[in-house]
Each structure stands twice: as structure tokens, then as C-alpha cells.
Structure 1
Amino acid sequence: MTVTNIDAIVVGAGVCGLTSALCLARRGLAVSVVARRLPPATDSCAAGAMWGPFLVDHPEAERWAGEGLTAFRELAAARTAGVTMVHGVEVARGVADPHPWLHLTGDLERCDEWAWPEYRSAWRYTTAVVDMPVYSEYLMAELRAEGVRVEQRELRSLRELSGRAPVIVNCSGSGARRLAGDPGLVPVRGLVVVVRNPGIDTFFAEDGEGPELTYYIPHGDTVVLGSTIEAPGGVALPEAVAAERIRRRCADIEPLLRDAPVIGVRSGRRPVRDRIRLETTTRDGQVVIHNYGHGGGGVTVSWGCGRDVASMVEACLTRLH
């Protein structure tokens, strides 16, 4: 069946899929979303989450990140999307420099002194922290307001959508390993613990690549404690053990967290790739724009990637017509 009143179908309802769909709709394009899981059951809803570089790489990534930070500052000012600007500290176990992107925050400064002897470097800055279940519902509400249809459906192949729209936008996250036939995409599981906020208003983040990282991120009445980095094929700790280790590490940094009541444990898979895949391809006559492989930086680059997707779709439609 051919559908002619849809300009693009977005596959995936994680943060990059929803944001891409919203960017398309705000350009006046007719768009629909197809996804196996919808918020709050997506991997994105399990994230910490805060703006910053983590397991993400692409020559355009810093530009995308800068666009994202600007967007999140605007959303934080509106106070309707679960986004807050929070000051905090990032640390490293070795002698290290802050990631170059962090200069985009405008208030990055090195720390001369800090309270944790196991770390040798530290710096402070203000960034956007995003309550992902709340933010994902905000994106869904914005899509509904734009008249975007969201369909929950599991696809076995992108070919199932061939002919349904001139352009398919593949934002399937870890699912792209199967849907795009991409063995270079690795789903890396992460676990976080959500506790009631005992009075914390700053974040703490450890710079590194795991397999265990210590961070806590306040989201109003709750704090998200993290995390694990569990690649496929490794020996994963039982959830209860991993959660207790996370709580203990965070409490060693901030004693207020020691007795904070646990609200829940969340886990999701980070779609890690050597480089974000954002490109236009054609398969069996069907135009497919791939937008996946954002690693732990999906929130950070979502607006920049989404706007580029919208421009790419517009360019494709111009050529097709």
C-alpha cells in the first residue's frame, strides 16, 4: 500500500526518534512514528540524564551538542519539560583535562581542592539535567499537539515500511543492529537507582568509561544514582548487587544519600558505535535516513541531529518532487 499524505516515517520513540519527529513536524512536514516500545518503556527513559559528552563521536558532534545545550536552556526556563540547569562537579581518577565540549557551558572552572582523595582531577560547571520519563512525555505531548500519529508496532525489517512514505528515518537505537544490519552497533547496558532526594541540589559525575561509574543527578524530588557499563558478552552483576554497589559508591561521596529511600531501579541499553550514523541512503528504491549510534550522548545531541534530519528530509523531498 502506498501512502501519499505522509512525508516521513520515523522509526523509534527514544529521545532521538521523538526529537527528530518533532523537528520534522515543526517544519510543517507530515510525519508519523512507529516504535516497538513507547515511553516510559524506552531505553531513553532509563537514562540519568544530563547534557555532556559520553560514549559519543562524530565530526559534527560538538555542533550538535551546542545546539542541544541551547535548546535545553530554553526548556529549563519554561519549566514544563523536566529540564533543569544544575551546577556540579566532574572528577577523574587520573590527571585529566575537561572535555573540550564543556567550555560550551560558559562557566567551566578547575577545582584546586576537593574532598575525595581517590580522584586526582576535578572541574565544575553548570549543565542541563533531564528527568527522562517527564521529558519523554513532554515530547510525546508536543507531537500530539502537532498532529503526529504514533504507532506501537514491532518491525522485523525496515522493508515493511517501503512505499508508506517518501522517506523513512531510522532512529531505532540499539534496534538498528538488526533493522539496519549494523554489527558495529553495540548495545551497552546501564543500570541506575532512583532515590528520594534528601536535599541535594548539585550533581557529581565521574569521568571515565567504566565498567562502573559513580554519579548522582538531582531531579527535584528524586536523585538518579549511577551507573554500570555492561557490554554484551561480559559477566553482568545481578541487578540487586549492582544496585547496592551503586548506592554504596554514591553514599561514599555524598553521605546524605546513605539512607535515602529507593524508589526504583531502571536499566536500558546505550546504542554505542564508533561514530554516530547520520546519513541518507537508498535501499530498494526507498530513501532511508539513518540517525542512530548516539551511545551515552543521545540526549545531548538529540536536537542538533534532529534538526539536521529535518533538513535532510526536506532535501530528499525536493529531489523526489
Structure 2
Amino acid sequence: MTSNTGGLDIRVVGGGVIGLTSAIALAEDGHRVRVLSRDAADGTTSAVAGGLCWPYRIQPYERAVEWSVRSFRVLTALAERPAETGARMVTGTMTATTGGGDDGLAAWYDAVPGLRRARAEELPEGCAWGWRARTPLVDMPTHLRYLEQRLAAAGGTLERRGVSSLEEAGEAADVVVNCSGLGARDLVPDPEVHPVQGQLVVVENPGIEEWSVSADAGATDTTYLLPQPFGLVLGGTARENAWSREPDPAVAAAIVARAAQRFPQLARARVLAHKVGLRPARPAVRLTAERLPGGMPCVHNYGHGGAGVTVAWGCADEVLRMVREVQEGRGPVRG
């Protein structure tokens, strides 16, 4: 990022991966940044995420791919220090049981080095097509700690408190950046924001080294295996407008059963944890600038569905661009 003297006072609402990366981009550009988050990072939806860098359940695809390519490059560089950053480069297969793999992500496929069509013998039983690729796989608890430390090193601060309005968040600031995720439903308010519930099971890894994902477009149930340092993450679900954060034992059993169809030894693997997260979905990501009723410039950055970690750095670049426009007097018009 380019150093920017005479920076602005900025409040970022939300301490998940979207909020932290946006805050880092701004702080490293010379702005005075404070993140306001009701929850500690390990209590956010980001902490439950599987952490695979791949566009998933996010619109609009064209913009999402641009953001994803930027994040891919950043995470690839961070993967050179996996113990510190939580990012590693891992080979795996993305598959589906229907369609031909031409799903609007052509620019993503072109950008991932070494990506190729999977051969028939590389596909799990019942899958019609697939892609083989080496992509970043992020241990999210470690990554979130890294982001908090990087923010602090850039002079940014974290404050653990909720806010009742964006105007409140922006008191005594020059700009407020809204990265509140699912909270934007009430905070903006934006009724288009809704949860897509995801449940997963973490088991002891019997030696699986590659990631594997099978997710048909719009499917409620998916099958994925993500080898993380803390265990093998098995998933999952994608249930629209389901608000519960409590794991469902029957759903957990079905998740393990689907994984065991591919690797029978997983049927006997010791379960380490059950987790549920609520993806902050929206018909399209809201990444725009406006002025709040009181005149405060506000940059919105929310609604990333199941692709938060995948698009975070690309979206952070957009936030930085919009804040620079505010600083240069080219920001959003009033109202």
C-alpha cells in the first residue's frame, strides 16, 4: 500500500476477516483506524469458515472473481509463512455432480496457476466434472490472530463493543466503514441480508492431505474435506434463512456419512468439534459509498456469503480506493 500522510480518522464496524482486512489496508495507507466489534475474532462467522480460497455462493460473479484473484495472490504470499499467517498452499479437487464446470468462473480458472480439468480417475464416484488446483487453504483462527497483530503493527486499534447505528459508530470520525456482515440486516437496515447456515464437523485426520469439495449450485448439502492443522474439517450445509447456531446431531451424522463414502476410515474418526456458522448472504455484495443522513461518509462492504476469506483482500482494495476518493473530495454525494 502507498503511504498516505495526513490520514483520516476511520471507524470500521466488524471484526471478522472482511473488517480486519479493510482496516489493515486503511491503516497501512496511513489512516488512523479503529475497529469496533461486538465479538472477539474467534467469535465471528469468519472463525468457523472452512478457509478454502475459492469463489462460493457470492454475487456478482464477475466482480467476485476480480476480488478473488487479488486475494489469491495475497494469500499465496502469506502461505510462505504458514505458522504465522495460517495460510498454506494445498492441492485439491473441486467437483460437482451436475453441469459441465462452465459456471461463470472462467476468469478465476484462468488466473489460478496450474489449474486443470480433473481426469476421470481423479473424480469421486458420482461426480460429473472437476478441477484440480493448488490453492490457499487458511486456518482461520490462526489467520484472524495474524490479521489482528498486523493491524496493531500498522497503528490500528480494536475496541470490543457493539454499536446501535452507523452514525454512532462514526462519532468523532471522518469516515465509517461498514463491514458488519449479517449485522447489516439491522444496522443499515438492509432486509436483503440473510443467513446461509453452514454446519461442519472436525475430526482427527487419518492422513488425508488434499482438500476435496463437491458443491452443486444451490445445493443445501455439500461434501467437503479440508485438512487443517487442528483436524480434518468435514462439511457441510448451506441452508438459506436458517438462524440457529446449534449443531444438529442428525446433520452432523449425515456430514460424516457423506465423507465416509469417499474415505471409509472417516466413519470411525474421533470427532473433535461441531461448529455452525451463519454466512452473511445477499443477492449481491454491497461494496458502495454513500453519505448517511447526517452527512457522514460511509463505505459499505458486506454480503459476501460463503466467500469472505476468498474476496477479502480484493474488497479491501476497493474500500481503500473509495476512502481515498472521500479524502480527495470526490466521495459520495450527500444523501
Once the two structures are TM-superposed, the CA of residue 200 in structure 1 deviates from its matched residue by 1.1
Q: CA deviation at 1:319?
A: 1.5
Selected match of 1:67 from 58, 65, 70 = 70
Q: Decide whether the 8 Å contact of 2:164 with 2:187 is kept in 1.
A: yes
Residues 145-202 of structure 1, C-alpha deviation per residue, up to 9 Å, x if partnerless? 2221111111121121243211000000011111111111111111111122211110
CA gap of 1:233–1:48, structure 2 versus 1, over 3 A, is: closer
- 1:84 and 1:129 in contact (8 A); partners too: yes
The residue aligned with 1:266 is 275
Which residue is equivalent to 1:275? 284
> CA 1:33 to 1:235, structure 2 compared with 1: closer, same or farther past 3 Å?
closer
Query: Deviations for 1:19-60, whole angstroms, at most 9, x for unmatched residues?
Result: 000111111111000011121110110000101111111342
Question: Which of 182, 193, 199 matches 2:190?
Answer: 182
Counterpart code for 2:199:
L
Confirm or deny: 8 A CA contact 2:247 2:274 kept in the other structure: no
1:213 equivalent to 2:208? Answer no
| Distance in 1, Cα, partners of 2:245 & 2:15 | 27
Which residue matches 1:251?
260
Tell me which residue corresponds to 2:3. none
Q: Match for residue 86 of structure 1?
A: 90
Secondary structure at 2:287 match in 1: strand
27, 36, 39: which is aligned to 2:38?
36
Can you give the 5+ residue segments of structure 2 that lack an aligned partner in the other structure?
Answer: 1-5
2:167 is aligned to 159
Corresponding residue for residue 15 of structure 2? 13
Two-structure CA RMSD over aligned residues (Å): 2.1
Distance in structure 2 (CA, Å) of the matches to 1:116 and 1:35: 41
Structure 2 equivalent of residue 49 of structure 1: 51
Which residue of 2 is the match for residue 139 of structure 1? 147
- Aligned-partner SS, 1:264: strand
Q: TM-score normalised to the size of structure 2?
A: 0.89
- Structure 1 length as normaliser, TM-score? 0.93
Higher relative contact order (CA 8 A, sep 6+): 1
Q: Tell me which moved more, 185-194 or 57-66.
A: 57-66
2:239 alignment partner in structure 1: 230
Gapped regions of structure 1 (runs ≥ 5): none
Query: Could you say if the C-alpha distance between residues 243 and 77 of structure 1 is closer, same or farther in structure 2, counting changes exceeding 3 Å?
Result: same
Question: By how many angstroms is 1:123 displaced?
Answer: 2.2
Matching residue of 1:109: 116
